[in-house]
Structure 1
């Protein structure tokens, strides 16, 4: 048996008339009759009683009708499932992100995807950028939001977000109280700096060192941490000062963030996925949300 034969049989079983069934199937009558005879020969049983006036189901035909309906329904469901998965409307989307992406629109993206594809399971995994790149290359993630200045080798992607760095000070810092005009980094060259760990995110580390070099000094790095919120919290408690992406300005109480003079050095977030093949359907579902909301101030 094949699905074509079962479909022909099911329509004839409903219509009980070869002419009407053939018209419904957009066939001429001989191919329909031939397909039904083939099916009966394969099953070794008569499925219909044919007279000059009517076509009636035999007991074997009635039994097959119930099974055929179930099989055809299951085939239709399987076809729909495959189509939905291929189009990214169903399945599982594993997204890597670092904590600061929460302040750059990730919750909005997840909410929009749930509304667009309610049967798609979205799984978020917090990792630093290096961990995400490794996970993507080993097919442990479908997409990631990495904080790098360029797209890594082996990955395709699109720039999602770019923003300037700002000076992060404790609320009781003298410069925070002044708060007027752009901050001058050179005036803070003797302060202790809190940086994102070089081992966790070398791009962020080098970006901040480069900003200080442009201002005419090398920062005195006192503390290295793994999360931006830890940077901001330590600043709030007077452990030092920091340069952070502008989107983190309101992330922690007790800090003040001041703008810096314009600079080509910015904090960039890329949405990336494994290269070398068409993007999976679930990634194609993600991309309109990513491309619809990049922030490039």
Structure 2
């Protein structure tokens, strides 16, 4: 039995969708399904209700979930202790980053740094509200997040040093198929509102969306079909043709760009920035080294404080 099977199972339980769980685990859906089947074969019974959408556990699956979570925690804890001495050779830098940037920008940071900064990294991931709260509570040294001068994030203050890592654009997207795009009737009328795939009201991107509507010359009419905090989920919903939704361009990778594209004019988009924040005081040497590397890269990319 492979511990990855348990991790796959727990991810599937959390996300309740084979496609999203496979993408999160960075494997093909076919390989992911085979690993779940291998786990069921090892356990000796079905853990997932076949054909259920969203994914549901069988009675045996519900019982096994608790044991699987405890086993993974114990095994990873034991491994962490064994690796502890090696891990302590490098000082740890704590980074908080929202889901929408975790896949693209953290990998970019790691590639950019290479061997320049001798540090290990602890990465906190969540929605923008969650990671911002962790950073402000002192649980992270550096925060990476979207920001807009039109609607500054709560971190934007004199107590924080701000670095523009790169520029981004928050704009509406829809499926590429011309007939389906036309059918949405964007930006809608009171008699025929367009279908909107939206962020929840607590999300920072929903505040940006509201700002775009407030400055618009003509008030759009819409009907919300789906609400979610995660841009990755909304991107999939948009690609399935369930409506028009706003996304940061950084969230639209090559695979998504083959299915969806911007819709409407420039008046429906908002310039935003991907920023790094740190407290305006002296920090540990490894954090200072990371910040210097970020600053140098931002300067090369045309970023500015």
- Deviation string, structure 1 residues 208-253 (Cα, Å, up to 9, x no partner): 1232341522443332202111011111122221011122233654
Task: Give the superposed CA RMSD.
Answer: 3.3
Q: Secondary structure at the match of 1:226?
A: coil
Matches of 1:146 and 1:209 in 2, distance apart? 19
1:195 is matched with which residue: 176, 194, 198?
Answer: 198
The aligned residue for residue 247 of structure 1 is 250
What per-residue deviation string (whole Å, max 9, x for no partner) do you get for residues 30-58 of structure 1?
xxxxxxxxxxxxxxxxxxxxxxxxxxxxx
Alpha-carbon distance in structure 2 between the residues aligned to 1:187 and 1:281:
54
Would the alpha carbon gap of residues 161 and 243 (structure 1) be closer, same or farther in structure 2, given more than 3 Å must change? same
For residues 166-223 of structure 1, what are the alpha-carbon distances to aligned partners after superposition, in whole Å with 9 as ceiling and x for unaligned?
3311243526589xxxxx9535872111122221x2x311211232341522443332
2:265 is aligned to 261
CA–CA distance in 1 between the matches of 2:302 and 2:99?
17
**Match in the other structure for 2:288:** 284
Is the 2:194–2:223 contact (alpha carbons within 8 Å) kept by the matching residues of 1? Answer: yes
Q: Distance in 1 between matches of 2:230 and 2:255?
A: 13
Give the match for residue 117 of structure 1. 117
1:90-138 C-alpha deviation (Å, 9 max, x unpaired):
41011111122146533121123242124x1012221222222222232
Higher Cα radius of gyration:
1
Q: In 2, distance between residues paired with 1:228 and 1:282?
A: 31
**1:1-297 alignment, distance < 5 Å:** 90-102=90-102, 104-118=104-118, 120-149=119-148, 150=152, 151-153=155-157, 154-172=159-177, 174=179, 176=181, 185-186=186-187, 190-199=193-202, 201=203, 203-213=204-214, 214=216, 216-218=218-220, 219-250=222-253, 252-253=255-256, 255-258=259-262, 260-263=264-267, 265-275=270-280, 277-291=281-295, 292-293=297-298, 294=301
Shift in CA distance, 144/122, structure 1 to aligned 2, threshold 3 Å? same
Question: TM-score with structure 1 length normalisation?
Answer: 0.57
Q: How many residues align?
A: 201
TM-score norm. by structure 2 comes to 0.56
Quote the Cα distance in structure 2 between the aligned partners of 1:173 and 1:295.
36
Structure 1: segments with no counterpart, 5+ residues: 1-84, 179-183
Task: Tell whether the 8 Å contact from 1:129 to 1:146 is kept in structure 2 after alignment.
Answer: yes
Q: Return 5+ residue gaps in structure 2 as ranges.
A: 1-87
- Separation in structure 1 between the aligned mates of residue 278 and residue 128 of structure 2, nearest angstrom: 13
Any conservation in 2 of the 1:232–1:255 contact (CA below 8 Å)? no
CA distance in 1, matches of 2:186, 2:102: 28
